[in-house]
Amino acid sequence: MQVITRELDAKLLLTYYAIKQNYSVVIGKQKKLYENAESLPKGIFLFKGNSGGGNAKKYKPIVKELGHAAVELDEEALFLEEDRYLSKRTDEVCNKVLDQVYCWGKSQRDSLIKAYPHYKDKFHLTGHPRFDLLKKKFRSLHSNEVEKIKKQYGDYILVNTRFASYNRKGGFGVGKDDMKKLYEHFIKMVKELSRKYPKLNIVVRPHPAENGDSYRKELTNCHNVFVTHEGGVVKWILASKLVIHNGCTTGIEAMLLDKPVLSYIPFTSEEVDEYLPNEVSYKAFTVKEIFSYIDSLSKEDSEEKQSIKGRKEILSYYYSAMDENYAYKNILRLLNKISFKSESSSENEFLQNKPLRQKGPKHLEMKENEIIAFLNKMRKLDKMESEIMVNKLAFNLYEIKSAR
């Protein structure tokens, strides 16, 4: 995992169901897994795609040479433009060493087959556990947190942003004119919402890589605006009355959670536009159109319901695991087909006899109590009687398995 708040719950959902099928799971930040690949018992490495740093490209062949199997579910492949996806996130070497590649939907798989027809049998439609968590079956996992948020913030509009290429943690970026322009439009829009609806709160949730303080500074005089990035986004969507975004995956998540969702598009730009999240949302091109949409939310609108149905049809080409089709089931079914030579010694002996790299900054640490809390909620939801053990192996590296 690279961004803990965004990815942990989905990985833990897959972990939980893997444990039920007698897997032992090692979960951690991706760099920590790479560093300790030699020290871990032979298993199946789940990669999250090729990021800009190149570590995944480097380590896929190494992991295979060490005797592990290698599969991939690219975190960023849901709606990347085809040429960008193929040039930045895939290559011949990686596809050669991977045993299986899991695709969000038909769009991604079609792109891969077109570029790498000789690896066609490696590309599988699975969906992503991140979207499994949006289904009604799992929404009760967030019930307590949703109630706490509602109690603290009351009725609110959730504004999600994605302007990290400009609004960086280390200061504003240069050469990102359109992203700067979009950032400024969103600041202005939030201020106007604050004035128009003084009795309605507005929660601004920046992307994890953004500088949240820039929003606090700009919006300091808006008494009903709050800037936070606490916890995962699903509970914030569930507790909200409306989600506003531009090109965010959270727009898709809000639609799948049956929440009103609006994409604010003050201008069009090849640099910043993202087709799919905007296409599955109600589009507003001016702040006045946002006001009109908010004012209409209390009305029964059959035309809007028909529009939502059409948006789900658009999404179905990009995302395959809709309705009662679950990504975690699809992935485990494929994992169960992989065979590899396991260690002759027991797993515990292996881990005890190999030194693991321990260092890392505390503020970036995966919290053991959060892992245990999620797994316990899953056990309660699933009426699972057996205990689950969580063992810390190293900084940001945990072994999770059944206590049986």
What pLDDT does residue 362 have?
Answer: 52
Please count the other Cβ atoms lying within 10 Å of the Cβ belonging to residue 293.
Answer: 18
Q: Which residues pair with 103 in a beta bridge?
A: 125
DSSP 8-state class, residue 219: T
DSSP 8-state class, residue 2: -
* Structural domains for the chain: 4-131+323-402 (no CATH), 141-318 (3.40.50.2000)
Pairing mode of beta strands 171-172, 167-168: antiparallel
Stretch (H or E) spanning 14 = helix 4-20
The answer to whether 18 and 402 are in contact (CB under 8 A) is no
Give CA–CA dist 255/370, Å, rounded.
27
Please count the other Cβ atoms lying within 10 Å of the Cβ belonging to residue 266.
Answer: 16
pLDDT tens column, 297-338: 877 665 566 577 889 999 999 999 999 999 999 999 999 999
If you count them, how many residues does the chain have?
Answer: 404
What pLDDT does residue 26 have?
Answer: 96
pLDDT tens column, 329-341: 999 999 999 986 6
Q: pLDDT truncated to tens, each residue of the chain (404 aa)?
A: 445 556 899 999 999 999 999 999 999 988 889 889 999 999 999 999 886 556 778 899 999 999 999 999 999 999 888 998 999 899 999 999 999 999 999 999 999 999 999 999 999 999 999 999 999 999 999 999 999 999 999 999 999 999 999 998 878 887 789 999 999 999 999 999 999 999 999 999 999 899 999 999 999 999 999 999 888 899 999 999 999 999 999 999 999 999 999 999 999 998 899 999 999 999 999 999 999 999 998 776 655 665 778 899 999 999 999 999 999 999 999 999 998 665 544 455 445 545 555 555 554 678 899 999 999 999 999 999 899 999 999 888 999 999 87
What pLDDT does residue 6 have?
Answer: 62
SS3 21: coil
Give CA–CA dist 79/10, Å, rounded.
18
Q: Which residues pair with 391 in a beta bridge?
A: 399
Q: Please report, in angstroms and rounded to a whole number, the separation of the first and last CA atoms in the chain.
A: 27
Which tokens hold the place of 202?
A: 């507005």
Pairing mode of beta strands 123-125, 100-103: parallel
Output the pTM of the full model.
Answer: 0.89
The answer to whether 44 and 37 are in contact (CB under 8 A) is no
Give CA–CA dist 39/350, Å, rounded.
8
What pLDDT does residue 345 have?
Answer: 43
